[in-house]
A and B are shown apart, each in its own frame.
Chain A
């Protein structure tokens, strides 16, 4: 299984993180690192674009949970955009749509912060 690629795009208020590949227990630390960096820099308006994510394991989902409280306390949020159906199925089974706002479109998600 291959790893995950984490890219980051800084807009004015919002930061978009692009995840590509497989997010599992092995690769979760990379995503964790990226989120930690954002929290440290106080850039807490985050959109995670999962358009190119093939797979997410429970450890990968755990990363969202690990940061959301902190980020929301700071007045920010994590919004999730452009999930593939297969990945959405995992989110959905777990009940994530209750906890996170999920959007079809990245720009729509970004728009939520304005």
Chain B
């Protein structure tokens, strides 16, 4: 009772009851000594009536019983009946259950009053519960009808109060006589009519399970039988205490009796279709469960398991299985109720026949009696008994994903109305399957992307963090990675004081594997640089390593150069890599010696191809090493940057230092591509010989 109004009302009700109780106690204690007070009774009745009126008003306007299950409500109502029997025995004047010793007679009155109030309280609760039941799936007139019932109760009380009783003072107390009269009968008949109107408002029965219906049937029967003798007796016994409460309880018992009887009849009428109703409910809940699964189960295996499981429920089948399309044929996806081996044992002929029917049908295919069907009679040869069969294709838009089957062991286990629901179920399942496979594909993509990200990270970490400082030599390196795939790397090694090795390369392969290969190579090169002097020897060793460690379709292009500052001699080999631009004072030379990518052939072949190139650099000369990503950079019109553009660019920008040269190339390529995503890494290493230093030397 969270409602503040409710709280207020119940508080007032309790205060009222406390006042009544106090009055009654005083009245009871002093009644022996005081003169009879004929109006005290009237005041008490008036207060009680007012209390009931308030409670009924609250009951009508506010929800009282919240979130109770139907079953619990009926149990509660039926449970009140035995409680009232106990109350009856307490009031029973002839066979009092709890006789008070005569000296405490006055106290007995107080006790009985308490019990009466408890009965009143429980009666109000019964009414609240009945209201909830009546209001389930309320119609247009439900509210009005119920109001009429409450009004009827009040009218009954008022009538009884004003005209129905004769208070006669006899020695020691009031006695009441009441007899039949036309008015009384007329009002009572009207009340019964209104009660019947309300009594058949029991839509809640429709939604009960078969088992619950049986329970309700039993409960209504038992409580009806138990209530009937109570109707006249309990109010009769309470009448001396309070006419108001007595009539209220009387009216309510009559209504409860009628409601019980109506519920009993309704359940009885619903019992034959209860199984069917149950099935419909199961169908609905299975469909609903499947649509929930669409949103939550993205694993195709899980989903298949769920689908065959729910298929059993949806058509009340004994076993079900699913076939998924695989290429031109079908593959058994999963089964429930029967082992996969059992399903595989179905004669091929029969499966093909059924599959054909299912694929051709827009609805689902029903074979009510396998043995009588000429086409599928082969099923009889199968070890598992199949009486009736259902099959529906799993179709999503124009795509067939497979076929769903269900079988019942009983002939005529499926009827025509199973077809529709099976079709609907298959459609849902198809949607779920399609959904799951799409999600799986996108997860795969996501994993790939993540792998690429890690590969990039690894690649960046493999690049030299700082370039060695060599007097008289400017060195600049840059690696712009592609969003997608790349295997570029470069490294600068200083094996001894008069030698600096420069290596630039491109590892073929994708994502993580390229990054791994690169990491391996870096280590290998670092080691080889310290053991061998000649680039050619180093490269041949690298080739040997790649041939033994990499996959056949993986290879590396590379330029390995060693520079000796003392002699200004640069020796290098080109292993299938893009040529090197040598920018001199007056011209630009492309150094493109013969060579072969590493990993493409055995050392004997590579050895013959590799040409050692030696050049003596002059002060101010610049060497530009790069990877094919630079000349293959594309603009929006899908044109490549190309060697010509690069040559022109380098010619235009001669005489810049290494850093400026590198940033100029970077700028111009960026201006050319205009933000078109890179499809390959671009790596650049620029080396410039200082002019100053040589001048100093010369002077």
Return the CB mask of B594-617 against A: 1 if under 8 Å, else 0: 111101110001000100000000
A94 x B600 contact (CB < 8 A): yes
Partner of B600, one of A1, A55, A59, A65: A65
CA distance A95 to B553 in the complex (A): 15
A95 x B485 contact (CB < 8 A): no
B679 x A65 contact (CB < 8 A): no
Those of B580-596 within 8 Å (CB) of chain A: 592, 594-596
Nearest-neighbour CB distance to chain A for B58, whole angstroms, equals 73
A94 x B597 contact (CB < 8 A): yes
Nearest-neighbour CB distance to chain A for B392, whole angstroms, equals 34
Partner of A55, one of B577, B579, B594, B632: B632
CA distance A96 to B601 in the complex (A): 10
Those of A58-114 within 8 Å (CB) of chain B: 58-59, 61-63, 65-67, 69, 86, 90, 93-96, 98-99
Chain B residue with Cβ nearest A66: B553
Return the CB mask of B534-563 against A: 1 if under 8 Å, else 0: 000000000000000001111101000000
CA distance A93 to B594 in the complex (A): 8
Partner of A65, one of B484, B553, B628: B553
A66 — which chain B residues lie within 8 A by C-beta? 551-553
Partner of A62, one of B509, B579, B595, B601: B509
A95 x B510 contact (CB < 8 A): no
CA distance A55 to B632 in the complex (A): 9
Nearest-neighbour CB distance to chain A for B158, whole angstroms, equals 90
B508 x A59 contact (CB < 8 A): yes
B628 — which chain A residues lie within 8 A by C-beta? 58, 90, 93
Contact A93 to B578, CB < 8 A, known contacts A1-B679, A59-B510, A61-B508: yes
CA distance A59 to B634 in the complex (A): 18
Determine the main DSSP class of B at the interface with A: loop
B555 x A95 contact (CB < 8 A): no
Chain A residue with Cβ nearest B555: A65
CB of B680 within 8 Å of the partner chain: yes
B638 — which chain A residues lie within 8 A by C-beta? 1
B552 x A69 contact (CB < 8 A): yes
Chain B residue with Cβ nearest A58: B508
Determine the main DSSP class of A at the interface with B: helix
CA distance A26 to B554 in the complex (A): 16
Partner of A99, one of B506, B577, B600, B634: B600
A95 x B595 contact (CB < 8 A): yes
B576 x A95 contact (CB < 8 A): yes
B596 x A62 contact (CB < 8 A): no
Nearest-neighbour CB distance to chain B for A36, whole angstroms, equals 12
Those of B165-212 within 8 Å (CB) of chain A: none
CA distance A26 to B445 in the complex (A): 13
CA distance A96 to B599 in the complex (A): 12
- Give the interface residue-count category, chain B: 20 to 34
Partner of B509, one of A24, A59, A69, A86: A59
A34 — which chain B residues lie within 8 A by C-beta? none
Partner of A58, one of B484, B552, B555: B555
CA distance A66 to B634 in the complex (A): 28
CB of A42 within 8 Å of the partner chain: no
CA distance A57 to B510 in the complex (A): 11
CA distance A2 to B516 in the complex (A): 28
CA distance A90 to B576 in the complex (A): 9
A55 — which chain B residues lie within 8 A by C-beta? 632
Interface centre among A26, A59, A95 (most CB of B within 10 A): A95
Those of A1-35 within 8 Å (CB) of chain B: 1, 24-26
Nearest-neighbour CB distance to chain B for A54, whole angstroms, equals 9
Contact A58 to B506, CB < 8 A, known contacts A25-B485, A93-B577, A93-B578: yes
Partner of A94, one of B554, B576, B605, B640: B576
B557 — which chain A residues lie within 8 A by C-beta? 58, 93-94
Nearest-neighbour CB distance to chain A for B556, whole angstroms, equals 9
Chain A residue with Cβ nearest B575: A95
B510 x A98 contact (CB < 8 A): no
A96 — which chain B residues lie within 8 A by C-beta? 597, 600
Contact A62 to B679, CB < 8 A, known contacts A98-B596, A98-B605: no
Interface centre among B487, B592, B609, B628 (most CB of A within 10 A): B628
CA distance A2 to B628 in the complex (A): 20
CA distance A76 to B634 in the complex (A): 37
Nearest-neighbour CB distance to chain A for B617, whole angstroms, equals 23
B579 — which chain A residues lie within 8 A by C-beta? 93
CA distance A101 to B230 in the complex (A): 110
Partner of A95, one of B487, B554, B596, B634: B596
Contact A99 to B601, CB < 8 A, known contacts A58-B508, A93-B576: yes
Interface centre among A1, A90, A93, A96 (most CB of B within 10 A): A93
CA distance A34 to B605 in the complex (A): 28
B509 — which chain A residues lie within 8 A by C-beta? 59, 62
A59 — which chain B residues lie within 8 A by C-beta? 485, 508-510
Chain B residue with Cβ nearest A65: B553
Contact A25 to B510, CB < 8 A, known contacts A63-B553, A94-B597, A95-B595: yes
CA distance A13 to B578 in the complex (A): 37
Chain A residue with Cβ nearest B556: A58
B680 — which chain A residues lie within 8 A by C-beta? 57
CA distance A33 to B188 in the complex (A): 92
B599 — which chain A residues lie within 8 A by C-beta? 65
A62 x B554 contact (CB < 8 A): yes
Chain B residue with Cβ nearest A86: B640
Chain B residue with Cβ nearest A90: B628
CA distance A18 to B341 in the complex (A): 46
Chain A residue with Cβ nearest B508: A58
CA distance A67 to B551 in the complex (A): 11
B553 — which chain A residues lie within 8 A by C-beta? 62-63, 65-67
CA distance A98 to B606 in the complex (A): 10
CA distance A55 to B484 in the complex (A): 17
Interface centre among A57, A94, A96 (most CB of B within 10 A): A94
User: What are 23 contact pairs spanning A and B, CB under 8 A?
Assistant: A1-B679, A25-B510, A57-B680, A58-B557, A59-B508, A61-B555, A62-B553, A65-B600, A67-B553, A69-B552, A86-B640, A94-B557, A94-B596, A94-B597, A95-B576, A95-B594, A95-B595, A95-B596, A96-B597, A96-B600, A98-B596, A98-B605, A99-B605
List the interface of chain B (C-beta within 8 A of A): 484-485, 487, 506, 508-510, 551-555, 557, 576-579, 592, 594-597, 599-601, 605, 609, 628, 632, 634, 638, 640, 679-680
Known A58-B628, A62-B509, A94-B600; further 9 A-B contacts with Cβ < 8 A: A24-B485, A26-B484, A62-B553, A93-B557, A93-B628, A94-B596, A95-B600, A98-B609, A99-B605
Which 4 pairs show the lowest CB-CB distances between chains A and B? A66-B553, A95-B596, A58-B508, A62-B553
